[in-house]
Structure 1
Amino acid sequence: MTAPEQLSKRAFADRIGVKPSYVRQLEIDGRLVLTPDGKAVLVAESIARIEATRDPSKQAVAERHATERGAPALTGHDRAPVGDDESVVDEMPLPQYDFQISKAKREHWAAEREQAAFRKEAGELIERAEHIAAFARAGANLRAKLEAWSAVLPPQLVGRDEAAIRSTLVEQLEQVLRELATAITAQAQETAHAG
């Protein structure tokens, strides 16, 4: 079995007719297949990976640039041979990567971020953490008020008839609800002024 063709990164750039900086970007993007020491490019495998991850929407631009350079544009059919035995390429599995699906996902999430930013600016969205904390404080305050009733209410209710007891309980409950509503309203106003 013949060893796969290897070139330096600069020589690989010359081979495919691009600038060395483009080869560096291919490496950063994970589109090059390097030798185990990372110093040389496996030519056929790299060309195959570049083709597998190419953005088809940019083929016309690639062809125009190649024509300007006087070199043919790489297409799916322009794979460099791997010595006498092309089975080496088959032995090295390429990652399953679909450029169009990845691009669509990236664009989808970018659009979601833009929509969220717009809705926040329009006052339709709020910061979740701030409001969770505000409602936690309101809940803790409510609990403290209700727990205080065990010490406050018995002296007020001793010796009263049923109607007076009901009236006192309703009055105490309305006071707690008013305080809770005031705290929530203050949080809403603070949010409105912050936005």
Structure 2
Amino acid sequence: MTEPTYLSKSAFAARLGRSPSYITWLKDNNRLVLSPNGKQVDVHATEALIRDTADPSKAAVADRHQQDRIQRDVYSQLSTLVEPTPMAAPPQLTSCDGKQPDFHKARALREQSLAELSVIELRTKQGSLVEREAVEVSAYNAGRLLRDQLLRLSSQLSSEFAAMTDPWEIERHLTTELRRTLEDAERLSAADLDKAISVS
């Protein structure tokens, strides 16, 4: 027995195992394809449009309803009501850029984006992820501080070295001052970085 191409709205609602108000809802949401005369429902085109725009998270519910409909044998009871006629093409829903919207891709992209944001939030709370700008500013400040302290050494030590004649004594004194300067810079840089990270 062949499938009907067009059905009345009430017959199509019975075919789906839904109430007539569901057909009104389909029409209001641009998911109902009517026959050329606008009085009957294009069965195949509407079913295809419902499938293409279905929410994938509700697939299990749809499968359960489908099984219920098969058990009630709705399809075989309705197949003799209307003789088949040529099928009209469903209207193409288009987005603002002219392309046909794909609910599944849009939903998958949304879920992926939300998952990535959740990972970022979790790593930020754990302290393993920080704002890039805060680290860059802190690194720049640390480098500038170290440069300034090293350049300041020559003016601080020149008078002391002028009075020294022993090369070993000069080297020991210079090494001590360099170590002290680098340790100070490291301590200040670490404090600056900790402050920048905790603020971000």
Higher relative contact order (CA 8 A, sep 6+): 2
- Match in the other structure for 1:106: 110
The 8 Å contact of residues 49 and 94 in structure 1, kept in 2 or not, is answered as no
Tell me how many residue pairs correspond in the alignment. 140
Instruction: Give the deviation of 1:19 after TM superposition.
Output: 8.2
- Distance in 1 of aligned mates of 2:151 and 2:50: 68
- Whether 1:147 and 2:148 are equivalent positions in the alignment is no
Counterpart among 24, 31, 41 of residue 17 in structure 1 = 24
The 8 Å contact of residues 138 and 192 in structure 2, kept in 1 or not, is answered as yes
- Distance in 2 of aligned mates of 1:130 and 1:169: 34
Give TM-score, length-normalised by structure 2.
0.50
- Distance in 2 of aligned mates of 1:129 and 1:192: 10
The 8 Å contact of residues 135 and 196 in structure 2, kept in 1 or not, is answered as no
Give TM-score, length-normalised by structure 1.
0.51
- Whether 1:178 and 2:178 are equivalent positions in the alignment is no
- Match in the other structure for 2:139: 135
Structure 1 unaligned runs (5+)?
1-13, 32-46, 68-79
For the structure 1 residues 107 and 98, does the alpha-carbon distance in structure 2 shift closer, same or farther, using more than 3 Å as the test?
same
For the structure 1 residues 185 and 56, does the alpha-carbon distance in structure 2 shift closer, same or farther, using more than 3 Å as the test?
closer
- Distance in 1 of aligned mates of 2:135 and 2:167: 40
Q: Secondary structure at the match of 2:185?
A: helix
Amino acid at match of 1:140: R
- Distance in 2 of aligned mates of 1:57 and 1:192: 39
Counterpart among 153, 156, 172 of residue 167 in structure 1 = 172
- Name which one, 1 or 2, has greater alpha-carbon Rg: 2
- Distance in 2 of aligned mates of 1:49 and 1:135: 56
Q: Matched residues, percent identical? A: 26
Instruction: Give the deviation of 1:142 after TM superposition.
Output: 0.8
- Distance in 2 of aligned mates of 1:49 and 1:153: 84
